[in-house]
Each structure stands twice: as C-alpha cells, then as structure tokens.
C-alpha cells in the first residue's frame, strides 16, 4: 500500500511541474479529486482482502455437522443414512447440502432435505431450525420428545433447545440444554459439553468481540489519519513550490510591465491584449467556479442517490427474504390445511363406519337374542317331540307286542277249528273260515311291520359301509324276485357311507322291491342306482355341509300327482291288494331311516313313465 501511495504522489508532482500558470487552480482541484478516488480505492483493497476469509454460510454448515458428530445415538448401528432436516431459507439448505456431499457422519452418507410440515420430522435424525421458524419450535420440541432426534437452533435465546448456535462476529459459539438431551435419550461426548458456553460467557464473548472490532477500527482510523496527514504535507510542499513559481512568474510580469511602460506607444497594443487575456482568465475562473459548484451539487446528489439506492437494495433484499419466508409458511399452511381436510374426511368416514358397525352390532345382538330364544323354543319343542316319539314308539311296541299274543291265540284256534270241524261247515262256512285265517295272517304281518317301524332309528352304532358289497349281497338275496320279473339292476362306483348297515340294507331293499313290484304290464323293470357328492349351506349353522345323494330310478307305472303328497305316510296304499301286494309301510320305513341318518328323502315321478327316489346322507357324521 505504501508503494502505491509513493507512486501516486510522484505522478502528482510530475503533473504539477508540467502545468502552466493559467491552469494552476484547476490542477489543485484535480489533485484533491484524485486523492479522494485513491482513498476509496485503498478502502476497497482492504475490504477485498478481508473478503478472502471463510464465508459465514460455510462456517454454519461445518458447525452443524461437527455438533452432530459430538452426539451419540443408541441405535447408531441400525442407521444406514444420516438424515438432516432443514427448517430455514433456500440458501442455508443449498449450502448445507453442498458441504454434506463431501463429508460423512459416523462413516455414513448424509441426506439433507427441507422439512415441509411438522408431521415429517419423525423420519430425521437431526433437525436444524432457523429463527424464521420460531413459531414452530415449541411444537417441534414436543413432537420429538423421547424420539432420539437432535434439535439444533440458530439465533434463539440460550437453553432454547438441545444445541443453540449464536454468531459471534465471524465465528459461531453454542450453548447446550442437558434436560432436552435426557428427554431425547441422546448422549453427548465430553468435548461437546466442555466447549459449550453459558449465557454469561456468550455475553462476554460478544462484548469482547465488539471491543476488538472497535479497537481494530480505531487503529485503522489512526493509520489512515497518519497517511492523510503525510499526504497533506506532501501536497502542501507541492503547493508551496507552485506558489514560488507563481511569485517568480509575477516578478517576470513586473519586469515585462516595466519594459512595456518604457515604450507606452509600443506597448498599448500589448496592454490591450493583456487586458483581454486577464478578462478571459477571469471569465475562465468564474466558469471553473460555477463548474465546481455544479460538480459539488452533482456529487451531493449522487451521494443521496447512492444512499437511497442502498436503502432500496436493503429493502428489496428484506422484502425478498420476507417473501421467501412467507412462501415457506404458505407451503406449510397449505400442507397442514390439506392434512386437516384429509383427517376430517377420514374422521367422518371412521364415524360413519363406527355408526354402521354399531347399528350392525345392535341388529346382530337383537337377532342373536331372537335366535337364542327360538333355539331354546326349538330345543324345548324338540325335547317334547322326542319324548312324544319315544312314548309313541313305546306305545307302538307295547301295543304290537301285546296284540301278538291274542292274535296268535286266534290263529291257533282257527287252525284247530279248520283241522277238526272243517267237515262240519258248509261251503260258505269254509270260505268264511278262510277269510278269518287270511285276515289274521295279514294282521300279524301288519303288527310285525309296525313293531319293526317302532324299532327303526334306535340304534346309533354307525360304521363305514361300502355300498357296493351291500348291494351285491342284497341283489343275491332278491335273486328269485329279480329272475321272476326279469329285472335289471344297474349300479357302479357307489361310495363308502357312515351309517347303520341293517337300516341302510332295508332302505335299498324297499326302494328296489318297489321298483320291481310297481312295473308296467309286459315290461321288464330296469332300476338304475347312482350317487354323487353335493355341497349345501346350512341356513341355521351358516356352514357348508357335504352329502352323498343317491338316486334310484325305475321305469315303472309312476305316481299320479294327486297321490304324491301321501307316499311317505304309514299304511298308505295307492292301489288295491288285488293289483299289488303290500302293507303300505315300506316308504314310511325309508323316510324314518333317512331322517335317523340326518338326511332327506324326496322323489320325482310321472305317471306311466317312472319314478326317481332321491335320498341324502351326510358325508361327515
């Protein structure tokens, strides 16, 4: 800097030595102007020198990363990528993201993202909060309590968060709050606590920094004052030399004037020229004065314009910062508004769903109460019906058993009368005796069948029965009937069912013999037996059940529609005994056997075409 000053002074001196007399005052003006320009240039050099230091934005980013490295997380091994959330300006986010690309925390990658809403803070390990987001700090601390998340703030009062950064001049200091660390289940290394400052130390630091700045400024002002004094002395010496030269020129003018006086006649013309020159010089000086005044006005106007431009620039920068903060707040508010709308919709849907479930629950409860009452009533009716059935069966058994003894007596006496007194009866008496004998035999047969009917369903000893061998034995036993009628009985691939073998044999026997008995004249009976598996849903138990459904089809005489509702009634006959033999109890036996096996029996028939009897037996008993 001193070398530049010397070069500048030498240039000024050289310029002054070559300046003529009539431009002396103008040269002084330009010397002062050049000195002002030089002083501004030297100040710019000093400010440019100070600007080569580390920017405060980079110091902030380094401080955030260094502070994070002094904290220990309990689940550090499970963290794959270290996530840092930023609640600050775009410039702070960009600078921290740029610095983090070249660094690692605990040998892990660093992922820096901006936080758009308070509901996003749970997924970060570290959160930086700038002073612009002071209104969210309380909610952030409340939301992160106990979640192992480090909160770093900047510019807040001491003990506002876990770590609070404060700018002290061109560097940063920080203070810590141990209570927040304990609530977050985080631990700090000893160096973090040892280098932290208290509120008193922070104030002392700020005071000392201010004193240092004031001392440096005062020293710089003293040095600048010395330089100005030296420059003023140098300029003064140059002005003295100029004054001496001006005096010498004045002496020369005096000598010239004396010579002019000696020759007045010769010098009149010269005097006129000199007066004209003086007048011109005076006018030039006045013009220079006016120009200097105008220049001063222009300089003052420029200074005011620069000051106002600086104010406008500061206001514009402040407006841009506030606009950015307002934009960020609007984004956060919009996000929260959308979240509130979604939550309101979900709450409404949840309320509607809850009301629907409550209504369904109340209806189901009432239905269950009604079903339980009906179930109790059905159980009671079933119990009473079972008792009545037992009483009826017992009555039928006792009645049939007790009737057999007098009937046997009657039959025995008829046989004795026929053997000993048949010769004493005429033809009508013998015929009547034969009717009595035939009626007693038929009555005995009915009593036996009634007794057999009362015994059906009593045995619950079920076992797996292969229907193929069962029908093989049955058809062998009915071989004479089959041979006499020329019947064909077809069956194949019949399953194994669970039931009582005697009752199932009687079931198949009654249905097959009916198909053979009720055949059309001059027609050989054909009986086809098939079986298939069927799935049905129990409307009461509300579950699927599997059944074996047997179908026995014949080509007999069929059943007229007016008699189809009486087929399964006991002792019901649709034909006379002269046309077809039988007691009319066979199909009643079939119905009781199927119902004892928890199945159903039904039929389809067309008169003159044939009949198909179907019955179902549960697959799994």
Work out whether strand 163-168 and strand 150-154 pair parallel, antiparallel, or are unpaired: parallel
CA–CA dist 268, 275 (Å, integer): 10
264-421 and 427-455 helices, crossing angle to 10°: 150
The confidence score (pLDDT) of residue 141 equals 84
3-state helix, strand, coil in the chain (%, to 5): 65, 15, 20
Rounded to an integer, the average pLDDT of 221-226 is 64
The confidence score (pLDDT) of residue 85 equals 92
Which range (203-207, 343-347, 513-517, 532-536) has the least confidence? 203-207
CA–CA dist 331, 102 (Å, integer): 30
The confidence score (pLDDT) of residue 566 equals 72
- pLDDT category, 401, cuts 50, 70, 90? low
Higher pLDDT, residue 452 or 514: 514
The confidence score (pLDDT) of residue 50 equals 41
- For 588-604, the pLDDT digits (tens) are 888 888 888 888 999 89
Which range (166-175, 314-323, 535-544, 592-601) has the least confidence? 535-544
Q: Which of 105, 158, 166, 99 is nearest to 130 (CA)?
A: 166
Mean predicted lDDT score pLDDT of the chain: 77
Rounded to an integer, the average pLDDT of 21-32 is 43
Which range (275-284, 417-426, 572-581) has the least confidence? 572-581
The confidence score (pLDDT) of residue 16 equals 43
CA–CA dist 609, 513 (Å, integer): 17
- pLDDT category, 418, cuts 50, 70, 90? confident
The confidence score (pLDDT) of residue 581 equals 59
- For 439-462, the pLDDT digits (tens) are 777 677 666 666 666 655 555 677
CA distances (Å), 273 to each of 44, 263, 278, 576, in order? 50, 15, 9, 178
444 and 404 Cβ atoms separated by less than 8 Å: yes
- pLDDT category, 552, cuts 50, 70, 90? very high
Higher pLDDT, residue 558 or 258: 558
SS (H, E, C) 190-202: HHHHHHCCCHHHH
Highest mean pLDDT (candidates 16-20, 420-424, 544-548, 553-557): 553-557
The confidence score (pLDDT) of residue 107 equals 87
Rounded to an integer, the average pLDDT of 515-526 is 86
| Beta-bridge mates of residue 464 | 498
Higher pLDDT, residue 58 or 37: 58
**All residues at 6 or more sequence positions from 57 whose CB lies less than 8 Å from its CB, including other chains:** 91, 92, 95
Using the predicted structure, report yes or no on whether residue 526 has a pLDDT greater than 90.
Answer: yes
Using the predicted structure, report yes or no on whether residue 614 has a pLDDT greater than 60.
Answer: yes
- pLDDT category, 548, cuts 50, 70, 90? very high
478 and 511 Cβ atoms separated by less than 8 Å: no
- pLDDT category, 110, cuts 50, 70, 90? very high
**Ordered structural domains, the chain, with CATH:** 56-197 (3.40.50), 460-618 (3.30.565.10)
CA distances (Å), 424 to each of 309, 315, 436, 482, in order? 160, 152, 17, 43
- For 277-293, the pLDDT digits (tens) are 788 888 888 888 888 88
Using the predicted structure, report yes or no on whether residue 186 has a pLDDT greater than 70.
Answer: yes
Rounded to an integer, the average pLDDT of 245-267 is 64
Residue 434, classed as helix, strand or coil, is helix
CA–CA dist 368, 200 (Å, integer): 75
The confidence score (pLDDT) of residue 374 equals 86
The confidence score (pLDDT) of residue 607 equals 84
The confidence score (pLDDT) of residue 138 equals 82
Phi, psi of 493 (to 5 degrees): 55, 45
Which range (33-37, 311-315, 416-420, 561-565) has the least confidence? 33-37
| Beta-bridge mates of residue 499 | 463
CA–CA dist 150, 144 (Å, integer): 9
CA–CA dist 192, 201 (Å, integer): 16
- For 500-510, the pLDDT digits (tens) are 888 888 889 88
Of all residues in the chain, the percent with pLDDT exceeding 90 is 16
The confidence score (pLDDT) of residue 256 equals 60
543 and 610 Cβ atoms separated by less than 8 Å: no
Phi, psi of 171 (to 5 degrees): -130, 180
pTM for the model? 0.35
Using the predicted structure, report yes or no on whether residue 21 has a pLDDT greater than 50.
Answer: no
CA–CA dist 531, 197 (Å, integer): 94
Higher pLDDT, residue 418 or 515: 515
501-517 and 586-596 helices, crossing angle to 10°: 150
CA–CA dist 189, 163 (Å, integer): 13
CA–CA dist 489, 552 (Å, integer): 10
Higher pLDDT, residue 24 or 180: 180
Work out whether strand 601-606 and strand 163-168 pair parallel, antiparallel, or are unpaired: unpaired
- For 368-399, the pLDDT digits (tens) are 898 888 888 888 887 777 776 676 666 666 66
Phi, psi of 81 (to 5 degrees): -130, 130
Using the predicted structure, report yes or no on whether residue 328 has a pLDDT greater than 70.
Answer: yes
Q: Could you tell me how far CA 79 lies from the centroid of its own chain?
A: 22
The confidence score (pLDDT) of residue 264 equals 64
How many residues would you count in the chain? 621
CA–CA dist 110, 83 (Å, integer): 6
- pLDDT category, 527, cuts 50, 70, 90? very high
Query: HSE-up of 132 (CA within 13 Å, CB side)?
Result: 17
């Amino acid at each position: 800097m001193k070398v530049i000053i010397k070069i500048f002074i030498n240039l000024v001196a050289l310029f002054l030595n070559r300046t003529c007399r009539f431009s002396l005052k103008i040269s002084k003006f330009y010397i002062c102007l050049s000195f002002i320009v030089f002083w501004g240039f030297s100040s710019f050099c000093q400010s440019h020198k100070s600007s080569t230091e580390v920017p405060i934005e980079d110091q902030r980013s380094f401080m955030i990363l260094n502070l994070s490295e002094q904290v220990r997380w309990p689940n550090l091994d499970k963290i794959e990528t270290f996530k840092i959330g930023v609640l600050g300006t775009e410039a702070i986010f960009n600078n921290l993201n740029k610095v983090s690309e070249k660094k690692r925390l605990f040998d892990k990658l660093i992922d820096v993202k901006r936080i758009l809403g308070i509901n996003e803070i749970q997924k970060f390990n570290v959160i930086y909060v700038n002073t612009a987001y002071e209104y969210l700090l309380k909610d952030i601390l409340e939301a992160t309590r106990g979640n192992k998340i480090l909160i770093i703030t900047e510019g807040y009062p001491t003990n506002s968060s876990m770590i609070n950064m404060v700018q002290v001049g061109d560097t940063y200091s920080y203070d810590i709050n141990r209570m927040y660390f304990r609530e977050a289940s985080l631990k700090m290394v000893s160096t973090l606590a040892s280098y932290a400052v208290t509120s008193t130390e922070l104030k002392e630091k700020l005071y000392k920094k201010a004193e240092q700045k004031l001392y440096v400024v005062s020293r710089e002002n003293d040095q600048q004052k010395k330089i100005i004094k030296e420059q003023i002395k140098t300029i003064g010496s140059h002005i003295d030399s100029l004054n001496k030269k001006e005096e010498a020129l004045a002496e020369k003018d005096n000598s010239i004037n004396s010579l002019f006086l000696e020759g007045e006649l010769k010098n009149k013309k010269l005097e006129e020229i000199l007066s004209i020159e003086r007048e011109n010089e005076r006018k030039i000086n006045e013009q220079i004065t006016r120009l200097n005044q105008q220049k001063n006005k222009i300089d003052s106007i420029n200074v005011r314009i620069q000051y106002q431009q600086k104010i406008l620039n500061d206001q514009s920068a402040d407006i841009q910062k506030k606009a950015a903060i307002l934009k960020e707040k609007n984004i956060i508010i919009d996000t929260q508004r959308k979240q509130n709308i979604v939550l309101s919709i979900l709450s409404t849907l949840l309320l509607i769903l809850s009301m629907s479930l409550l209504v369904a629950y109340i209806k189901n409860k009432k239905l269950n109460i009604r079903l339980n009452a009906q179930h109790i009533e059905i159980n009671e009716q079933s119990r009473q019906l079972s008792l009545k059935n037992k009483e009826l069966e017992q009555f039928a058994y006792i009645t049939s058993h007790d009737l057999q003894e007098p009937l046997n007596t009657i039959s025995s006496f008829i046989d004795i009368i026929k053997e000993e007194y048949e010769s004493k009866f005429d033809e009508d008496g013998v015929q009547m005796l034969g009717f009595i004998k035939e009626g007693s035999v038929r009555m005995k047969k009915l009593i036996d069948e009634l007794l057999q009917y009362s015994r059906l369903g009593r045995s619950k000893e079920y076992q797996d029965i292969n229907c193929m061998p069962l029908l093989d034995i049955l058809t062998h036993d009915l071989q004479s009937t089959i041979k006499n009628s020329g019947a064909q009985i077809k069956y194949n691939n019949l399953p194994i069912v669970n039931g009582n073998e005697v009752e199932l044999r009687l079931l198949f026997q009654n249905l097959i013999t009916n198909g053979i008995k009720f055949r059309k004249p001059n027609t050989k009976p054909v009986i086809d037996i098939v079986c298939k598996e069927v799935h049905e849903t129990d409307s009461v138990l509300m579950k699927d059940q599997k059944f074996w459904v047997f179908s026995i089809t014949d080509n007999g005489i069929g059943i007229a529609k007016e008699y189809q509702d009486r087929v399964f009634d006991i002792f019901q006959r649709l034909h006379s005994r002269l046309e077809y033999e039988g007691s009319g109890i066979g199909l009643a036996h079939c119905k009781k056997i199927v119902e004892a096996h928890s199945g159903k029996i039904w039929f389809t028939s067309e008169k003159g075409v044939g009949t198909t009897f179907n019955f179902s037996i549960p697959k799994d008993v």
